[in-house]
């Protein structure tokens, strides 16, 4: 019985969702745009390498999503810097 309660206790603690305290540093606009550009580059690489017909749709959607995200962030940051 002691082993069962120990296993249940460990499983409970493993599955328990705890709010972690994370040291959140402010992220600069340049850093956000850099990561979006990296994501776009990865999507372009994936699209150029995919040969399996079942993955083509995935690669196209990922590429379009990355393009839209990058364009949105670029426009938003550009507006933000104009207001300063």
Query: What's the pLDDT at 54?
Result: 86
* 44/38 Cα distance (integer angstroms): 10
Q: The whole model's pTM is what?
A: 0.67
Task: Give residue 6's pLDDT band: very low, low, confident or very high (50, 70, 90).
Answer: low
> 71 is written with which tokens?
């364009």
Q: Does residue 13 carry a pLDDT above 90?
A: no
> Tens digit of pLDDT for each residue in 26-50?
889 899 999 999 999 999 999 999 9
Tell me the C-alpha to C-alpha distance, in Å, between residue 70 and each of 10, 31, 37, 58, 59: 43, 12, 6, 18, 16
Query: What's the pLDDT at 31?
Result: 93
Burial class (CB within 10 angstroms; exposed 0-12, middle 13-18, buried 19+) of 1: exposed
* 25/22 Cα distance (integer angstroms): 9
How many other β-carbons are positioned within 10 Å of the β-carbon of residue 40?
A: 19
Task: Give residue 4's pLDDT band: very low, low, confident or very high (50, 70, 90).
Answer: low
Residues whose CB is less than 8 angstroms from the CB of residue 39 and which lie 6 or more positions away in sequence, other chains included: 66, 69, 70
């Amino acid at each position: 019985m002691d082993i069962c309660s120990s296993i249940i206790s460990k499983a409970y603690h493993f599955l328990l969702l705890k709010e972690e305290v994370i040291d959140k540093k402010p992220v600069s606009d340049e850093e956000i745009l850099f990561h979006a550009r990296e994501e776009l580059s990865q999507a372009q690489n994936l699209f150029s390498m995919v040969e399996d017909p079942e993955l083509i749709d995935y690669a196209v959607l990922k590429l379009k999503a990355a393009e839209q995200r990058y364009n949105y962030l670029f426009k938003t940051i550009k507006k933000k810097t104009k207001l300063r």
